[in-house]
Amino acid sequence: MSDPDVRPAYDPSEQLARLQRLCRLRAIALYREQALYLQVLRELLEGATRQALFNLLGEVDPSRFGRLPESTRLNFHAAVTDLIDRCSVLLTVEQLMQLVGQMQQEQRRQQAHASRSMLQKLSRQSQESAPEPEPPTSDPPTSELPRNEPSGSIQLSLASPLESPPRTASPDPVKEPVPEPADNKSSGDLDVLRSLFELVGDAMQQAQQPLDPGAVLDPSLDGNDHFLPNEPDALLHWIQAMDQALERRLRNLSHAVNVQMLRSGLAQTLLPISLLDAVLKGQVETQPTATNVLRLRLPLAVGELDQGMDVLCVLLRSNDLEFDSPRLRQCRKRLRAHHHALLTMVRQQRHWQRRSLDREARTHWQTPSDSTQQLSGD
């Protein structure tokens, strides 16, 4: 058995501290690259949005915009410019981090709502499966029965048939005890399921708290004076959360522009936000079209055509913006390099964390306790 006092060549605690220092340096460079990416995006956003509108109107009806009154065209241009300016103000690292916190709170509310809905559904199912009370018979009421009833007579009571009857000594020892009603068992199963859902909800909430990028906005928390997370796994989660927040900002701008097109008479349909989210997640098949323009084939029979109809709208996506901009592609390339480096650091972090736990377990196993030493001394 090895001596617990002998330290290995690489101390896990020292390696974890080294990874933390490297992560802080990586976070500084990552913040600069993310800020530069957003700066380039703000410069390209107006031109990309107007190009998407031009491509969209060109595919639908090129002369539709020219048929509008001049005042309507001017108001439309002014409204689109205002929407782009308002979105550009929110395309900063600080604003996106605040949006990340809001999105995580929204996700927790949705999970809690789903848990409550499932519990309510289980409660309704348990109530529907409970046995119904038997209809009243034509027997005389209990007041007309003699007080000293013979053994084995039927007694009627005003108590609910679902309640447990009081346990009394049976005069006949051969009779079996009365079984418990079925609703007690179902209610017990419901309580168990409710407890399981509560435990799962608490576990999910606790699992998200250490990786919450919004927590690093306040420097006073836990004495942390750093703006970004200083752990590799938390910083990797921060990168992914920032990409999701950016997609949310671009999706909101796209929806606002589509609403403005509908108000100006340039569009006749408006796709809901949930459908746009499904497209961004890759859950809906799209048709080929210009960049930052969405074309969907709806299975609707129009006249004699049974193949459906195409619906087009504006949908700004970071992939399309990077495809049209070499500067934005270079920024994304450097961000991906940081992402790959953090993946390696996360693997190293997991390795040294396991080594640290293993060494701690070995120390407790190999070092005798005080009670064992006292027994051996006696």
Q: What is the pLDDT of residue 374?
A: 52
Residue with tokens 């999970």: 111
Asked whether residue 206 is assigned to any structural domain, the reply reads no
Q: What is the pLDDT of residue 143?
A: 46
Q: What is the pLDDT of residue 15?
A: 84
Asked whether residue 156 is assigned to any structural domain, the reply reads no
Examine the pLDDT at 1 and tell me if it is beyond 50. Answer: no
Give tens-digit pLDDT for 94-143. Answer: 999 999 989 888 888 888 888 888 888 888 777 777 666 665 555 545 44
Rounded to an integer, the average pLDDT of 237-246 is: 93
Domain span including residue 114: 12-120+211-368
Burial of residue 313 (number of CB atoms within 10 Å: 0-12, 13-18, 19+) = buried
Asked whether residue 173 is assigned to any structural domain, the reply reads no
* Cβ neighbour number for residue 174 with a 10 Å cutoff: 5
Asked whether residue 273 is assigned to any structural domain, the reply reads yes
Q: What is the pLDDT of residue 284?
A: 87
168 or 54, which is more confident? 54
Share of the chain above pLDDT 90, in %: 35
Domain count, the chain: 1
Burial of residue 193 (number of CB atoms within 10 Å: 0-12, 13-18, 19+) = middle
Give tens-digit pLDDT for 246-262. Answer: 999 999 999 999 999 99
Separation between Cα atoms, residue 59 and residue 350, nearest integer Å? 52
Give the pairing type, strands 309-314 and 293-298.
antiparallel
DSSP-assigned letter for residue 302: B
Please give, one letter per residue, the 3-state secondary structure of 1-64.
CCCCCCCCCCCHHHHHHHHHHHHHHHHHHHHHHHHHHHHHHHHHHHHHHHHHHHHHHHHHCCCC
Structural tokens at position 236: 């990797």
Q: What is the pLDDT of residue 340?
A: 93
Examine the pLDDT at 168 and tell me if it is beyond 60. Answer: no
Q: What is the pLDDT of residue 178?
A: 42
Of 24-38, 108-122, 195-209, 317-331, the poorest mean pLDDT is in 195-209
Q: What is the pLDDT of residue 51?
A: 94
Q: What is the pLDDT of residue 216?
A: 40
23 pLDDT tier (thresholds 50, 70, 90): confident
Rounded to an integer, the average pLDDT of 142-158 is: 50
Asked whether residue 23 is assigned to any structural domain, the reply reads yes
- Kindly provide the b/e burial profile for residues 139-160, where b requires at least 16 CB atoms within 10 angstroms of the residue's own CB: eeeeeeeeeeeeeeeeeeeeee
Of 16-30, 140-154, 206-220, the poorest mean pLDDT is in 206-220
Asked whether residue 60 is assigned to any structural domain, the reply reads yes
Rounded to an integer, the average pLDDT of 145-165 is: 49
Asked whether residue 176 is assigned to any structural domain, the reply reads no
Q: What is the pLDDT of residue 195?
A: 54
Mean pLDDT score across all residues of the chain: 76
Asked whether residue 299 is assigned to any structural domain, the reply reads yes
| Residue 40 contacts residue 328 (beta carbons within 8 Å) | yes
58 or 198, which is more confident? 58
Separation between Cα atoms, residue 322 and residue 326, nearest integer Å? 7
3-state helix, strand, coil in the chain (%, to 5): 65, 5, 35
Rounded to an integer, the average pLDDT of 328-352 is: 91
